[in-house]
Structure 1
Amino acid sequence: MKKVVLTLAIVLGGLTAFAATPVLVQHNTEVVAQEEFKEIEISKLPTAVAEAVQKDFAGAKIEKAYVNDKEEYKLEISKDDATKTLYADKEGNWIKK
């Protein structure tokens, strides 16, 4: 009986050594460069951008307009108490961001 208890104690002691094995965790970090947009007057939007908004979002009102160094435009539009942010290039083509 003593041998069974001793054997059991040795086996359990050996299992705890495996349980103490460190687990390696890899963390992925994503860095996103934030573009600088400067607010501009809505009247200074290129005609192509304003026309694209009216064509694709009929009845929407441009609340704010921004531009960056690449001449990409960030537009905040509203329609029926809903707001949306859109991005377009100077030719009025939509950009996904």
Structure 2
Amino acid sequence: MKKFFITTVFALGTLTAFAQEEATAVEENATEAVAQDDFSEVAAEELPEAVTAAVSKNYPTASIDKAYVNEAKQYKLEVSLEDGTAGTLYADENGNWIEM
């Protein structure tokens, strides 16, 4: 019985580790898909309403300094906040955030 319990613990531990590695690989592939696409600069006025609404909703003090788009209709936004901090956000054409 003791051997069965130890074997079960090792089996579950191995499966958990494999699942974590698989999830990390999927996230890295998604990040690479965005990072590999070339972005072209566009005017902030040309951004879809969904993207500007997402910025206004989630970052009410942010202003969009520069905007870029790639062929997959993913948007790279360089924004700055009123407190002086700046950053880059990525969104799809529907205003959904893309994790980088």
Shorter-normalised TM range: 0.5 to 0.7
Distance 2:93 2:36 in 1: 20
Q: 2:94 aligns with which of 88, 91, 94?
A: 91
Identity among equivalent pairs (%): 50
| Aligned position for 1:75 | 77
| Aligned position for 2:59 | 57
SS of the equivalent of 2:75 reads strand
1:37 counterpart letter in structure 2:
F
What per-residue deviation string (whole Å, max 9, x for no partner) do you get for residues 1-34 of structure 1? xxxxxxxxxxxxxxxxxxxxxxxxxxxxxxx663
Distance 1:46 1:35 in 2: 19
| Aligned position for 2:47 | 45
2:36 counterpart letter in structure 1:
Q
Larger radius of gyration: 1
2:90 counterpart letter in structure 1:
Y
The TM-score, its normalising length taken from structure 1, stands at 0.65
Offset, 1:59: 1.3
Question: 5+ unaligned residues in a row in structure 1: which ranges?
Answer: 1-31
Question: 5+ unaligned residues in a row in structure 2: which ranges?
Answer: 1-31
The TM-score, its normalising length taken from structure 2, stands at 0.63
Offset, 1:35: 1.9
Distance 2:71 2:37 in 1: 9
